[in-house]
Chain A
Amino acid sequence: QVQLVQSGAEVKKPGASVKVSCKASGYTFTGYYMHWVRQAPGQGLEWMGRINPNSGGTNYAQKFQGRVTMTRDTSISTAYMELSRLRSDDTAVYYCARGTTELGYWYFDLWGRGTLVTVSS
């Protein structure tokens, strides 16, 4: 079954770090970029960055540069997103999403269910 399974909800204090995992199954993990998107409560979707699981190369949205680190472990088909120096406005659901490029098109065709990260003192 083609799916992305994310780790469970987290509660962190301001200033701490959080690491969310996303395990891929049912397809070739190294064949597709993995992206991270977050959604604050009642708000829209915000792209954070992506990782090439094959090379480990990353691209981050400017807003998160210096605070986010995306990594992967190909042996277990899992991508990770670590966000540091957490603030209360980082409270959000964090999604991983597979980026597909096919026939010149580009889109996110597979999403994880999301991981709620709550930042509170």
Chain B
Amino acid sequence: EIVLTQSPGTLSLSPGERATLSCRASQSVSSSYLAWYQQKPGQAPRLLIYGASSRATGIPDRFSGSGSGTDFTLTISRLEPEDFAVYYCQQYGSSPQITFGGGTKVEIK
């Protein structure tokens, strides 16, 4: 099973700042099968990024994804008040084996 490790666990930032979230895989992941989700309290996750770098429909361009192999990054260029949430990376592997990272909480400083 591929383990996804997200860091940091919590990111304390102010609105307008840049957020950089990391997702590291225990073995190589196909970029096509790496996604990022945002989850707010009491809500279901929402797809942000698929294919490691493609924004989902309706996602603002301040969100961007990058990376390949075992290292992936989600960047929020300038934090808006509605961006404070928990972010999860996810990978789809053969069999299938689908795993999520443990999440990064982006909180208001």
Contacts and interface: CB of A to CB of B under 8 A. Distances in A.
Interface of A: 35, 37, 44-47, 50, 59, 61, 95, 97, 104-109, 111-114
Contacts of B90: 45, 107-108
Given A106-B35, A107-B56, A108-B37, 17 more contacts: A44-B88, A45-B39, A45-B100, A45-B103, A47-B99, A59-B96, A95-B44, A104-B32, A104-B51, A105-B32, A105-B50, A107-B90, A108-B35, A111-B45, A111-B46, A112-B44, A113-B43
B63 interface: no
Nearest to A110: B47
Nearest to B97: A61
Contacts of B54: 105
Contacts of B50: 105-107, 109
B92 to A, nearest CB: 5
B6 to A, nearest CB: 9
Contact of B98 (A47, A95, A105, A109): A47
A59 B101 contact: no
A13 to B, nearest CB: 26
Nearest to B35: A107
A61 B102 CA distance: 17
Contacts of A104: 32, 51
B66 to A, nearest CB: 16
B47 A107 contact: yes
Nearest to A96: B44
B3 to A, nearest CB: 12
A44 B103 contact: yes
A29 to B, nearest CB: 19
